[in-house]
Structure 1
Amino acid sequence: MIVGLFGGSFNPPHEGHLLVAEIALRRLGLDQLWWMVTPGNPLKNPMDLAPLSSRIAMSEQLARNPRIKVTAFEKTLGSPYTALTLAHVKSRNPGVHFIWIMGADGLRTFHRWQRWRSIVSTFPIAVIDRPGSTLSFLSSKMTRSFEWARVDEDDAGILWRKPAPAWTFVHGPRSALSSTSLRQARPGSLPDC
């Protein structure tokens, strides 16, 4: 089985997130995509975060594709760090081929994530294009450090076969929506479930 891991705050989730998930499903040949709603983000202000239950409910309402599984299992791990989450997933699912999915807008700060090099070395990574971030793979610390591990986009469908570190940049349709702009446009409008 080939599973994409798409984690984020999803604060709120929106059609741009769904577009990334659908591109990943199609271009990477995934059997499933785990839409992992994080309980918190160490790089963001926790006061700006809607309750986890609200973000899960909104994600489930948006992601109706039966191959997308909305989960918040990170809450039970007691750690907000992706490196620990991926190590946990890897240890519990030895027969599954995982690919970490991230939007290109996340490349700018990826090197600030705890143990970011460990993340790159755990599973192959698919970076999905986002508006204003198309060229970010040329300048980010992660992509410069691991340029040698880059897989051509034409081979995205076999990325799961590559041992980590391996990454690719996937171009495709892009949505200009962002959680930040949605929160700024509708302050206080996120549900309190």
Structure 2
Amino acid sequence: MKIGLYFGTFNPIHIGHMIIANHMAEYSGLDQIWMVVTPHNPLKKKDTLLDDYQRLQLVFLATEDYPKINPSDIEFKLPQPNYTVNTLAYLQEKHQQNEFSLIMGEDNLKSLHKWKNYEVILQNHEIYVYPRISEESENLEFKNNSKIHFIDAPIVEISSTFIRKNIKNKKNVQPLLPLKVWEYVDHNNLYK
């Protein structure tokens, strides 16, 4: 089975994440999408980051009606700080029958050369890239790499930062979140 790994803090997961995940599940040739919830990075401020398991719960609520999209807590179980190359090696060892690929935005592709052992990732895994609005030119060093697939997905400009800020400012962000995620966030007074 071909599995696309979509990493993120998902703080909170929003409809933009779901649009991209569903587009990848339906139009990229991948069989499943795993939404990999990234644990808290000890080097980053935690003031607005929900607990790992609360964010996993939000991803579970967002994905439960999508049979091809699943939440994953795999990085909770791995040593920190964690690197994508290590997560991929661990998954490939544990699930040898599956083929794992990465899903990332075009903005992340531009910094791929800074990732730990990015050459190993490119040698062993496909990368599916969705477009982002960017002011930078399209001078991508990886543009012609056969392992990298640019997917003509909808461009969604919604950010979790915008959502958190506007919840705090008592704005209605309900349309930006999957309904069950909105209900959980609202009921538990999160991000206020």
Q: What's the RMSD between the two structures over aligned residues? A: 2.5
1:30 corresponds to: 30
One-letter amino acid of the structure 1 residue matched with residue 97 of structure 2: G
1:149 corresponds to: 145
| Deviation, structure 1 residue 47 | 3.8
One-letter amino acid of the structure 1 residue matched with residue 78 of structure 2: L
Q: Secondary structure at the match of 2:124?
A: coil
One-letter amino acid of the structure 2 residue matched with residue 50 of structure 1: L
List aligned pairs for 1:68-79, cutoff 5 A. Answer: 68-79=69-80
Distance 1:180 1:9 in 2: 11
TM superposition score normalised by structure 1: 0.77
CA 62–5 in structure 1, closer or farther in 2 if over 3 Å, else same: same
One-letter amino acid of the structure 1 residue matched with residue 98 of structure 2: V
Distance 2:155 2:43 in 1: 25
2:163 corresponds to: 182
Distance 2:75 2:137 in 1: 28
Larger radius of gyration: 2
1:67 corresponds to: 68
| Deviation, structure 1 residue 19 | 0.8
Runs of 4+ with >6 A deviation? none
CA 13–2 in structure 1, closer or farther in 2 if over 3 Å, else same: same
List aligned pairs for 1:35-184, cutoff 5 A. Answer: 35-41=35-41, 44-63=44-63, 64-79=65-80, 80-130=82-132, 132-133=133-134, 138-139=138-139, 143-144=140-141, 146-150=142-146, 166-184=147-165
| Deviation, structure 1 residue 41 | 4.1
Report % sequence identity: 32
2:174 corresponds to: none
**Larger relative helix fraction:** 1
Distance 2:137 2:37 in 1: 25
CA 186–106 in structure 1, closer or farther in 2 if over 3 Å, else same: farther
Q: Aligned residues, how many?
A: 171
Distance 1:85 1:136 in 2: 30
Give per-residue Cα distances to partners, 1:8-56, cap 9 Å, x unaligned: 1111110010011011111222221111101134774344421111111
CA 148–171 in structure 1, closer or farther in 2 if over 3 Å, else same: closer
